[in-house]
Amino acid sequence: MKAAPFVSQTSHKQYLDLPDICVDEWISFATFHDSAFKFLPGSIIVIIGARMESYSATIRSVFLCANYSHGHQERQMRVNRLQHDLLKQLLYELEKAGVTPDQLFSRARLRGYSASGEGAFAGVDSLVLLETAVQLTGDPCLAIRFGQGVGIASYGVFGFALMSCANLRESISLMLRYGKVWFETNWELHDYDGGLLLRLELAQGTPVQQSLATELCFSQLSFIGSSLYRGRLEGAELRLNSPRPPHSAYFDATLKAAVKYDCEHSELFLPAQVLDMPVRTASPSEHVVYHQQCEEMLRGLDSVEKTTAAVRQLLIQSAGEFLDIAQVADSLHVSERTLRRRLEAESTSFRTTFEEVRDLLAREYLAETELTVAEIAHLLDYSETVNFRRAFVRWNGVTPSEHRQQQVA
């Protein structure tokens, strides 16, 4: 593998008008991965090294190269990290109110809480914990504050995919397709009055627990949105299927949107004019890779070909500095011989899978970005553009330029 480029962190205020939360989230995510690198969005870092000099705006390969050794853990980590961070934030809110973890878990067990206490914020247990926390603190606004404390980095690759989306419409589409890989709540999308209704459906818990969970979900949605979009979503309206609570003024102020109560459903209305609001950290080239990582994780939920899926995921994660078979085997904690045997049992090979990933990314880059054919060849680790063109013709029967023209037509 080529030597990884060095990354130097630079004051974000000099380069891009981003809120501190965006920068902090990226640094937090890098620290969590125990990486040797600190990374920020492309326009707020300095990249040094011959490999990246000709394409310094793209940092995706820096992140992926720094993080590839952790790639095989992502499917398990994506849940553990989010659930762990949610529990950690809840305990922090309780600490500020003078309530200890022992008090929380002891009281929660009396209400049917079954997890260990060192576990996570998930399932029915999370509803019991949330209701118990509100009762112990006597704070009716706790769920709302709780939702404002967990940032986008806690969602792992899904969070990075959101940050690289072009606009609000694309972010919603991504959330609906891949959200179930990361969180348990059920979101539905409905056309309404020229805009969209993002509806929350909760099937578990008592009415009180569902009300608290609804406040948490929409507070979290608002907080994540504030790190992605500039300004207020004019015309947006939150509709809740619960009576107006005594703390409604705090809820309204936190969400910075009109809120209606006693509605048929709990949902967020987004008018047509805000759906094309750009994401401040949008990056078409980075989105191609993060989107494909999400797709691989979604496929992996029900995939029978587990080894092939794991190899594809690792190769996509290392795009730009692709791993060889020895490195993939090491990441999966198996020998190279075992990896070859398992792939053969799934009627494929490492070379075939590698070529499929390259072809997949090439077609996505051509369709979704304005990168030149030479730049795409560079991202796919071809030393010569002509070699990439030959491979693309072998895969698809047309040249990269002809494929791009077909997509436009």
The domains of the chain are located at: 6-74, 305-408
Non-local CB neighbours of 233 within 8 Å, separated by 6+ positions: 168, 225, 257, 270, 274, 277
Residue in 382, 196, 356 with CA at minimum distance from that of residue 272: 196
pLDDT at 277 over 50: yes
pLDDT tens digit string along 67-85? 333 443 444 444 468 888 9
Q: Provide the residue type at 386 as one letter.
A: V
Query: What are the angstrom distances between the C-alpha of 71 and each of 68, 117, 199, 207, 310?
Result: 5, 27, 33, 40, 9
Residue in 318, 317, 320, 313 with CA at minimum distance from that of residue 381: 320
Task: Identify the residue with better confidence: 63 or 201.
Answer: 201
What mean pLDDT is predicted for residues 244-260?
Answer: 90
pLDDT tens digit string along 203-228? 888 999 999 999 999 999 999 998 89
Work out the pLDDT band at 304, boundaries 50, 70, 90: low
Query: 55 with 375: CB under 8 angstroms?
Result: yes
Query: 33 with 67: CB under 8 angstroms?
Result: yes
DSSP H helical segments within 261-305, as ranges?
A: 284-302
Query: What are the angstrom distances between the C-alpha of 409 and each of 307, 363, 401, 403, 404?
Result: 37, 15, 12, 10, 9
pLDDT at 309 over 80: yes
DSSP H helical segments within 138-233, as ranges?
A: 142-147, 157-164, 168-182, 207-228
Site of tokens 């990354």: 7
Site of tokens 């009055």: 193
3-state helix, strand, coil in the chain (%, to 5): 60, 10, 30
pLDDT at 50 over 70: no
* pLDDT on residue 119: 63
pLDDT tens digit string along 101-136? 999 999 998 888 876 545 678 888 899 999 999 999
Tokens of 341: 């045997």
Tokens of 26: 């990226």
Work out the pLDDT band at 96, boundaries 50, 70, 90: very high
How many other CB atoms sit within 10 Å of the CB of residue 24?
A: 15
* Residue 278 bridge partners (DSSP): 167
Query: What are the angstrom distances between the C-alpha of 349 and each of 320, 325, 353, 360?
Result: 21, 10, 6, 16
Which one-letter DSSP state was computed for residue 2?
P
Residue in 19, 38, 36, 17 with CA at minimum distance from that of residue 28: 38
Could you tell me which CATH number the domain at 305-408 has? 1.10.10.60
For the whole prediction, is pTM greater than 0.75? no
Strand pairing report for 258-260 and 237-239:
parallel
Query: 38 with 9: CB under 8 angstroms?
Result: yes
Residue in 320, 352, 331 with CA at minimum distance from that of residue 55: 320
